Chain A
Amino acid sequence: MGGTFVVAFALVGSVVKPKRFAGLFSAAPSVAIANLLITAYSVDVFETHQDARSMIVGAVAMIVAAVLGLPLLRRLSALRTASCIAGFWFVTAAIGYVVVLR
């Protein structure tokens, strides 16, 4: 289900222009929609609510990671930049978890 939503948003992103606008869809809530739906119908609403609250921390981490990744694109390859962005995301999300959620 997560993969299907990702492909749907990717298709939308591929038919819109300019690239700056298409980039919005790289941060579309595709995985979130799929997992929140599955959790709501297979587990319970309380856990879904908890998931959504925690997701805010992950989303803030994504802002930080993407902003930090921008200057790296000028120096590193796309793959290395993407790896660094994932690293930045993990570090920021871990800090967010300890500070806000724990």
Chain B
Amino acid sequence: MTPLSKDRDGKSRRSEAAPRGDSKKVTSRENPLVALDIAQLRQTHWQDLLIRFIFGATISVAAGIVGSTLGAKVGGILLAFPAILPATLTLIAKEDGGQHLFHDLQGTVAGAFGLVGFGVVAAMTIGRLNVLVALTLALLAWCVVAGTLYLVWATWLRRRGVKL
């Protein structure tokens, strides 16, 4: 990421930064940390979902085969393979363009930290608790770690007038 300038008003000189004098607007409703847009569901193409399904199913089967032939140590590593990232990146590039792609991958970094949290909690609880309970706690850990990282980072960006 390019370094920010040290302007007194804290605005960045990056291309994604808000125009001078617009920081109040950008930090309010128009630049939410998290928002829901259900209407996007209508624009979702079933082909895109099919591609993701195939990627997910393929890596899932591959992890199973590798696990049963080379052992759980190797098979387990594959559970965190960025299976749907190629599909997601190419689809975003096709539909939204480069800047969105960069933003999506930045979010993926936070999600990957959450994946570590998922693995740690799963390793700590599987065998001690019911598997369903253990996986629910692990999923909760993913939400907390990834969500907290995102919120801290997005708040920091927004304070500097960066459009999220």
What is the minimal beta-carbon distance from B134 to any residue of chain A, in angstroms? 8
Docked Cα-Cα span, A65 to B49, in Å, equals: 24
Which of A1, A14, A30, A52 sits near B40, CB closer than 8 Å? A14
CB-CB < 8 A to B98: which residues of A? 73
Which of A24, A50, A66 sits near B72, CB closer than 8 Å? A50
Q: Given A11-B49, A37-B135, does the pair A56, B89 have CB atoms closer than 8 Å?
A: no
Which of B41, B56, B111 sits near A27, CB closer than 8 Å? B111
CB-CB < 8 A to B33: which residues of A? 21
Assess the A73–B116 pair: CB atoms within 8 A: no
Assess the B126–A35 pair: CB atoms within 8 A: no
Assess the A79–B90 pair: CB atoms within 8 A: yes
Q: Which residues of chain B (68-88) have a CB below 8 Å from chain A?
A: 72-86, 88
Q: Which residues of chain A (71-87) have a CB below 8 Å from chain B?
A: 73-74, 77-79, 81-83, 85-86
CB-CB < 8 A to B76: which residues of A? 50-55, 57-58
A 1-40 binary contact with B (CB < 8 Å = 1; else 0): 1111111011101111111111111111111111111111
Assess the B53–A4 pair: CB atoms within 8 A: yes
Which of A15, A46, A59 sits near B127, CB closer than 8 Å? A46
Which of A2, A23, A25, A33 sits near B59, CB closer than 8 Å? A2
Q: Given A20-B164, A26-B82, A31-B81, does the pair A60, B116 have CB atoms closer than 8 Å?
A: yes
Chain A residue, CB-CB nearest to B48: A10
Q: Given A2-B59, A29-B118, A35-B79, does the pair A7, B37 have CB atoms closer than 8 Å?
A: no
Q: Which residues of chain B (148-162) have a CB below 8 Å from chain A?
A: 150, 154
Q: Given A23-B111, A56-B116, does the pair A16, B131 have CB atoms closer than 8 Å?
A: no
Where the two chains meet, the residues of A that have a C-beta atom closer than 8 Å to any C-beta of B are 1-7, 9-11, 13-41, 45-63, 65-67, 69-70, 73-74, 77-79, 81-83, 85-86, 89, 93, 96-97, 101-102
Where the two chains meet, the residues of B that have a C-beta atom closer than 8 Å to any C-beta of A are 1, 32-38, 40-41, 44, 48-49, 52-57, 59-61, 63-64, 67, 72-86, 88-90, 92-93, 96, 98, 100-116, 118-120, 122-123, 126-127, 131-132, 135, 138-139, 142, 146-147, 150, 154, 164
- In the assembled complex, 22 residue pairs joining A and B whose CB atoms fall closer than 8 Å, in A order, are A2-B59, A3-B53, A3-B54, A11-B44, A16-B34, A21-B154, A23-B106, A23-B111, A24-B110, A26-B85, A28-B142, A29-B80, A36-B131, A39-B72, A40-B131, A47-B67, A56-B120, A59-B116, A67-B109, A69-B105, A70-B102, A89-B82
